Amino acid sequence: MKKLPTLGFIGTGAITKALVTGLCSRAADVPYPIVISPRNAKNAAQLKADYPDQITIAENNQAVVDAADWIILAVHPNIGEDVCQSLRFRPDHKVINLMFDKSIGQIRDFISEVDTILFMIPLTFNAFTDGPIVLYPANDEAAAIFGHIGRIIFADDPDQALVYDTFSGCVTSLFAVMDSLIRWSESKGLSSDDAAAYITRFFNAVSRRLPVWTAAASTPWRQSVWKMASTCRH
């Protein structure tokens, strides 16, 4: 079997925890060696405890870079430039940036010349389900790695990638709507558990149905949604 590349994560926050959990638990047949940075210490220790054979906690960020073939930049945008500039990369390194506000050109300016720089948009749901993962530009090797935990979508250009990124910000609004509906149901006498179970299953089912509706519709998208929504109510 071909040697699997080592994946190195700079920043062990929510998104790294999710991606590493997804890779270790849902892609166990392709056990990519994974090196994580020591911060956040709690997440790093938890991941190491959960997957001791697959995960190494590096001493510092440079040790992550030195040990990895692919380096995933998963720190907050406000420290991204400093973190990148503090690291030394090899020319054969492949880098994936998760910071939404940093272009590939900026990352290239922050670090030395490397083989590949990509922008990727995963979400924490990739820990447990094949939600979409946007990649720009298209890259088959990255798609093969992260395709184990998500449905890969190649963006055509950086602007299109940012359009996809906008949806990540809508998750909070969606949860707020669901939370309001759960609270309202409770005020009408439903138990909290029944309300939460119903609302989450309801939205799950509706979103699974939507592609079928839109694919079947010959009318413009918005009209078809309204039409289907009205049929749904009867």
Ligand X SMILES: NC(=O)c1ccc[n+]([C@@H]2O[C@H](COP(=O)([O-])OP(=O)(O)OC[C@H]3O[C@@H](n4cnc5c(N)ncnc54)[C@H](OP(=O)(O)O)[C@@H]3O)[C@@H](O)[C@H]2O)c1
Nearer to ligand X, 63 or 114 (CB): 63
Residues at the contact surface with ligand X, assessed by CB under 6 A: 10-11, 13-16, 37, 39-40, 61, 74-77, 79, 83, 98-100, 121-124, 168
* Cβ-proximal residue to ligand X, closest one: 13
Nearer to ligand X, 72 or 199 (CB): 72
Q: Please state the closest distance from residue 98 (CB atom) to ligand X, in A.
A: 4
Q: Please state the closest distance from residue 170 (CB atom) to ligand X, in A.
A: 12
Contact residues for 7 (Cβ-Cβ < 8 A; gap 6+): 23, 32, 33, 34, 35, 68, 69, 70, 72, 145
> For 2, which DSSP code?
P
Nearer to ligand X, 44 or 182 (CB): 44
Rounded Cα gap, residues 231 and 221, in angstroms: 15
Nearer to ligand X, 67 or 190 (CB): 67
Residue whose entry in the numeric block shows the structure tokens 């979400």:
123
Rounded Cα gap, residues 98 and 102, in angstroms: 8
Q: Please state the closest distance from residue 50 (CB atom) to ligand X, in A.
A: 17
Contact residues for 3 (Cβ-Cβ < 8 A; gap 6+): none
Q: Please state the closest distance from residue 64 (CB atom) to ligand X, in A.
A: 9
